[in-house]
Amino acid sequence: MTIEGELTIRLAWDGKRVGDVAVRSTRPFMASRLFAGRTPEEAVTLAPLLYSVCAHAQGVAAAGALEAATGGAPAAATVSARRQEVILETVQEYLWRILIDWPLAMGHPGDVQPVASARRLIAPTLDTLARVARRIDGRPSPGCDVRPVAGALAELAATHLYGVAPDLWLARTDVDAIAVWAGGRQTLPARLLDDLLQESPGLARSDVALMPVAQREALAAAVVPALRSDPDFEQAPSWSGAAVETGALARSGTHPYVAAIRGRSGNAVPARFAARLTELALLLGELAGVARDQDRAPWSDAFALGAGEGLGVVQTARGLLLHYARVDAGRVGAYRIVAPTEWNFRPAGALVRGLGTLAANDEPELVRQARLAVQALDPCVACRIEVSHA
């Protein structure tokens, strides 16, 4: 059973420019009904089964939220397993998006073989991590050494993405280093990024603010009050009442590589793809044991909001995922899930504002641009694009 639904994006086009953008979602918001009355252990088991995309992140967020709501404290091995599980799943997602979906959106064949190899490498480790990460009883569990997998993934990324080891790619100090790298056109992602920078540098540029670092204090002040009180918050989440963009660009927008592209063309499609490439290299370093940048949001966190209330906070390939749980007398009383897609694809959100800037003289070109904009923000459900003639 899955509860994913789909998105339909309708563009009103006058033959030259987009005049209006509407997003219709059939995603069901039924977490409270599905989880209510279950024990915390039952809910943790159920959560990842409901999603075919980022199922591991959903399981980690559920475990954290329900553990915090019941007053539990995870063992150190559990904390580590949760973080590694969501990072490893994000790496897997990024490889798929960069080597398959991004080329297809630009009219090129994808590079399937390395993605399949990576999935075979990652799958058994993800399963091992999940068994540790789902524990909400606080008991210690054996750890899992992910460094061998991280090393193999780094070699794969060096060959198929960066042309050099990911850490060496990150260490470049050229002026406008990522554009220089892209201009070398030595790998498929380099060629794709170079084409974007040369042909469409400001494609689907959005003026929506990037999400601030999702630390506990910031979430408690900017998100939790509305999450508790607004019955429609899951459908159109906000940060202190305003739309924000979540995902790789929000997390890595200040990295020198990404900042250089943003400085030229703003928060547009090339900057989002550059952020994905940059963050993937950073994550491969984290898995290999390189220290994490303390200014970045934690990949997995959870904390109590009050008696019987917990919030699970997970960063995913697509952005911030929140699970809110209230537990009464050993049973789930209320449950809410705020997914990354709703942050970015909400009315007046990053996608809508970006699509509103599109200009094209023929419909196939308009649809191509719109598909690239959608792929750069990467919804976790199927997405259809329709054009109406204004």
Give the number of other Cβ atoms within 10 Å of residue 266's Cβ: 17
Q: 124 exposed, middle or buried (CB, 10 Å; 0-12, 13-18, 19+)?
A: exposed
- How, if at all, do strands 300-306 and 331-338 pair? unpaired
pLDDT for 3 equals 59
Contact status, residue 385 vs residue 367, Cβ threshold 8 Å: yes
From residue 273, alpha-carbon distances to 103, 150, 167, 201, 346 in Å are: 11, 22, 18, 11, 21
pLDDT on residue 183: 97
Mean pLDDT, the chain cut into blocks of 10 residues (390 residues total): 78 95 87 90 93 91 96 91 96 98 95 98 94 83 85 98 97 91 97 97 97 96 96 95 98 96 96 98 91 74 96 97 96 95 95 96 96 94 90
* The predicted structure's pLDDT at residue 104: 95
* Confidence (pLDDT) at 137: 78
Instruction: Give residue 86's pLDDT.
Output: 97
> What's the pLDDT at 5?
78
- Per-residue pLDDT, 294: 59
Q: What is the pLDDT of residue 1?
A: 52
Cα–Cα distance for residue pair 383/178, rounded to 1 Å = 30
Question: What is residue 289's predicted lDDT score, i.e. its pLDDT?
Answer: 84
pLDDT for the residue 293: 63
Class of domain 6-389: mainly alpha
